[in-house]
Structure 1
Amino acid sequence: MKLKLFLFTISLMFVSCFSAEKEKLPEVKKEKRLFPVLKDTLTYKATRLNIKFMKSSNYRPIFLGKFTDTLVIDHYVNRGSMLIDSFESFRKHFRYYHRDFGKTTKASSKNINIAIDTTTIIKQVDFHDIGNNHFILKAYPLYISNISTKDTISLGFNFDIRTGLEAKNREGIWQPIERMTFVGCPVGLQEFVLKPGDTILTSTPIFKGDFKTKLRLRLGDTYSNEFEGYINEQQFVLSTF
């Protein structure tokens, strides 16, 4: 009798183990991230930008070099060659300078891709139109990629990328809400370029306001993905300062 009870218990354990093994859920494959993981180096508190005028655009690189799964943001890398302190830094910066004006290609939908990652919030140092004060703003990462195989794309001068945000007004018409800084005499300026296959990381500010609308970034005749946000309608009006 004891032997039969022992055998019955063993058989139950075997069936239970077999059933548990059979009912194991399949492993879920992790989806590949569309954008790298970003580590910000600023510890200051950031806020959304609440303004009632059209501000100057402020787009400078915050990472230079080869892209990997994780990038460490450097808010001082865009200070240019004056802060280069090693041969590696010189090589990194020199890749994005071009001295032969007129021998580069304009940004277009054929050679540039613009992507804004609205799932991640980082920080941006903003200093335009507000005197000598620096403001730490909440911002979205912005990726600009040269998708051509041979074109060297002109982005602007001295690490200043000639791009700006647009938003839809109440009539659903796209209008600029940022103005690009005027560049007069090019003497002393260095053309900022993006070589084939390269990608630049910068950022676009997150605004605060009472008007909900759609926004996008424009570079030449190329546009980023659209996203929702809040602005003040006075930002459609061109400021006089």
Structure 2
Amino acid sequence: MKTQLLIILAIIICSCKSEKEQSTIDWKIPIVKDSLPIANKYFETKKIRNPFNQLLFIGAKEDSILITKNSLNRNLYYPEFIEVNDSVNKKSEIEIIVDLNQELSIDFEKHSFPPAPPASEPPIYVKAYPVFIRNITQDTVHIDNQDGELFLIQEAKNKFGEWKPIEYWIYASCGNSYSYTSLGPNDILILKKAKYQGTFETDMRLKLRTNDKIVYSKPFKGSLNIEQFDLDNLDGFTKRGLKNRDEEYIDQILLNK
């Protein structure tokens, strides 16, 4: 009898695991149709950069989604960015899905819903890929954001096989910048990420911080320049904050805390 119970228990555990794995496998990635022209070059840099986290879409999953300046209704979107308080039931049951098979573009200067404002120089487009953030529960989940952008950076493995950041986060000084984005059951959020290119081929992943937890995407192949691992190559005014190598400050901008 004891042996039979153990066999039944093992079957139940395997069945539950299979259902969980199957749910991810069966999830069909939407086709994202970009209204920007396809870029002919990658994003190449030797600096650790503030990320491009251009939000494109929030809502129910569809087979295909056309991205235009109207695909994200700002009037409906921003009221979701309400003040965070302790009574909000915040969850982190989400999945980050990277799709390198679809080619999108980012306007390097405007981040880029067309038509762009008149400019003396033509737009600078770089290759990008869609990122899907999926609510895998039957409840509404809440994802922390700052001024409408998710706390999301990109990491890569260095030559020693260690995960290191190649992007960093800039925090807002205004307390009203911090709120959350709500995803209903089976809703998705779509954003673009720039495709890096360099001389060092390695594994990469996305790192999202929300609700005091960290969620990673599955690793994917990519390339970058080795200098992007060096904090001394951090661009912008944030570099001044590294003058004293304050470990707490470094942890914050790298979304460790």
TM-score (norm 2): 0.66
Which of 117, 128, 137 matches 2:99? 117
Contact 1:104 1:151 in 2 (8 A): no
SS in 1 for 2:102: coil
Change over 3 Å in CA distance of 1:106–1:135 after alignment to 2: farther
Residue of structure 1 equivalent to 2:222: 229
Aligned CA RMSD, in angstroms, stands at 2.8
The Cα shift of 1:59 comes to 0.8
The Cα shift of 1:147 comes to 2.2
Q: Which has the higher helix share?
A: 2
How far apart, in 2, do the equivalents of 1:107 and 1:51 lie? 35
Which of 181, 184, 187 matches 1:193? 181
The Cα shift of 1:196 comes to 3.5
The Cα shift of 1:97 comes to 2.1
How far apart, in 2, do the equivalents of 1:46 and 1:96 lie? 36
> Does residue 1:49 correspond to 2:43, yes or no?
yes
Unaligned regions of 5+ residues in structure 2, if any?
1-24, 111-118, 237-257
| 1:125 partner letter | D
The Cα shift of 1:107 comes to 6.3
Change over 3 Å in CA distance of 1:159–1:77 after alignment to 2: farther
SS in 1 for 2:54: coil
- Residues 12-63 of structure 1 show CA distances to partners (whole Å, capped at 9, x for unaligned) of xxxxxxxxxxxxxxxxxxx977211221111364420010010101212112
Contact 1:107 1:219 in 2 (8 A): no
| 1:56 partner letter | N
The Cα shift of 1:158 comes to 2.1
How far apart, in 1, do the equivalents of 2:235 and 2:91 lie? 28
How far apart, in 2, do the equivalents of 1:164 and 1:61 lie? 14
Change over 3 Å in CA distance of 1:140–1:103 after alignment to 2: farther
Percent identity for Structure 1 against Structure 2: 24
Residue of structure 2 equivalent to 1:218: 207
Aligned residues: 195
Unaligned regions of 5+ residues in structure 1, if any?
1-30, 82-89
Contact 1:101 1:191 in 2 (8 A): no
TM-score (norm 1): 0.70
Change over 3 Å in CA distance of 1:183–1:216 after alignment to 2: same
- Residues 66-112 of structure 1 show CA distances to partners (whole Å, capped at 9, x for unaligned) of 3211100135766x84xxxxxxxx33x1463223445546664xx11
Q: Where in structure 2 are the equivalents of 1:98-113 lying within 5 Å?
A: 98-104=82-88, 108=92, 111-113=93-95
Residue of structure 1 equivalent to 2:11: none
> Does residue 1:96 correspond to 2:80, yes or no?
yes
How far apart, in 2, do the equivalents of 1:77 and 1:158 lie? 18
